[in-house]
Amino acid sequence: MVPGDLAQALTLSESANWNQTAADWQRVLDLAESFCIELDGRIVASATAMVYGHRELAWIGMVLTLPEYRGRGLASTLVQASLDYCSDVACVKLDATEAGAPVYRKFGFEDECIVERWARPANAPAVLSDLTAGGEPDLSLDRQAFGVDRLQLLASFPNTCAIDGAFLMHRPGRQAAQIGPCVAQSPERAESLANWAVADYPQTPMFWDLFETHAAARSLAHSLRFAPSRRLLRMSLAGRNIPQDPSLVYAMSGFEFG
Ligand SMILES: CC(C)(COP(=O)(O)OP(=O)(O)OC[C@H]1O[C@@H](n2cnc3c(N)ncnc32)[C@H](O)[C@@H]1OP(=O)(O)O)[C@@H](O)C(=O)NCCC(=O)NCCS
């Protein structure tokens, strides 16, 4: 895909009722290798591969086929293209929807864990925070959490707050503002950062993607009136993994980035 494909890319994710805005797709097109299939004069399917660090980790995302073109092998073709592109990458992961998981299993992806999207309704009570945007994320803490450097991705997010290196980023979305990534050494720091993010979006629905097993993140999300809304399956290519520390991850960046 090339920058001029932005409008058609957005049509694809809107057709699946996903949350990405034009700015989100722009980020993907800028940072990831993006593949598409054109049929009947338009883009009808996509897949993207975001490579991190020194080709140590790749994240497959934005696997989409327009509804009227499904079941013809288009997504499979694009997943194969993405995997060919990632053939020298140590570890390949993704977050799969129920529709996507059978496609990935054919290529050797195995189940790793459940990730959940929590949603906060627009009419939830306002939250106050005395924090303001700014501060420097601790990049070594992020590397410990995520396993590899993802400096370019972090730099691409519009709003960041950091306290003692713990950090949270947030961004607008098509249906809901998105919290994440949030990496923190303690629930207390994550709480202050989450309050800051939620205070920034009065009367706006919000999404927060977290590990199902992260009790502290769940409890914090719950206290801020988020509730579970979707479950996805984190999958990784068999036999190719890297050390990560999910206990530090209070919010993921999004299903397309990990
Ligand atoms: C998931 C999706 C990308 C599949 O696209 P597609 O172009 O229809 O996929 P393919 O034609 O390559 O199908 C691949 C295989 O998965 C199977 N499959 C596809 N959709 C399926 C579904 N909803 N449930 C179960 N199996 C499914 C097909 O039977 C096919 O198997 P086969 O090759 O053995 O016949 C498409 O349904 C879609 O865009 N869904 C909405 C967005 C989404 O959930 N994307 C996945 C993100 S992880």
8 A C-beta contact, residue 179 and residue 208: yes
Fold of 3-112: Aminopeptidase (3.40.630)
pTM over 0.85: yes
R_g over Cα of the chain: 18
What are the sequence ranges of the domains in the chain? 3-112, 117-231+238-251
Instruction: Kindly give the distance from the C-alpha atom of residue 66 to the centroid of ligand 1, in angstroms, as a whole number.
Output: 11
Give pLDDT, residue 112: 96
Task: Name the stretches of the chain with pLDDT < 70.
Answer: none
Question: Does 3-112 match 117-231+238-251 in CATH topology?
Answer: yes
Tens digits of residue pLDDT in 120-167 = 999 999 999 999 999 999 999 999 999 999 999 999 999 999 999 999
Ligand 1 atom with the shortest distance to the CA of 232? 48
Whole-angstrom distance, CA of residue 229 vs CA of residue 3? 32
Give pLDDT, residue 225: 98
Give pLDDT, residue 239: 83
19, 76, 234, 256, best to mutate for ligand 1 pocket (most atoms within 8 Å of CB): 76
Tens digits of residue pLDDT in 204-216 = 999 999 999 999 9
Record the tokens describing residue 56, joined without a space: 């140590």
Give pLDDT, residue 240: 81
Q: Whose CA is nearest to atom 21 of ligand 1?
A: 99
Whole-angstrom distance, CA of residue 190 vs CA of residue 185? 8
SS (H, E, C) 58-76: EEEEEEEECHHHCCCCHHH
Cβ of residue 160 lying under 6 Å from some atom of ligand 1: no
Give pLDDT, residue 101: 98
* Chosen CATH of 117-231+238-251 out of 3.30.420.40, 3.40.630.90, 3.40.50.720, 3.40.50.80: 3.40.630.90
To which residue do tokens 């975001």 refer? 50
Instruction: Kindly give the distance from the C-alpha atom of residue 80 to the centroid of ligand 1, in angstroms, as a whole number.
Output: 13
Ligand 1 atom with the shortest distance to the CA of 97? 48
Q: Whose CA is nearest to atom 36 of ligand 1?
A: 65
Cβ of residue 75 lying under 6 Å from some atom of ligand 1: yes
Cβ of residue 73 lying under 6 Å from some atom of ligand 1: yes
Whole-angstrom distance, CA of residue 169 vs CA of residue 72? 38
- DSSP-derived letter for residue 134 is B
Task: List residues bridging with 61 in a β-sheet.
Answer: 48
Record the tokens describing residue 10, joined without a space: 């957005």
Whole-angstrom distance, CA of residue 233 vs CA of residue 86? 20
**Angle formed by the axes of helices 215-223 and 187-199, nearest 10°:** 30
Record the tokens describing residue 99, joined without a space: 């529709």
Contacts of 33 (CB under 8 A, 6+ apart): 48, 49, 50, 51, 82, 85
Q: Whose CA is nearest to atom 26 of ligand 1?
A: 102
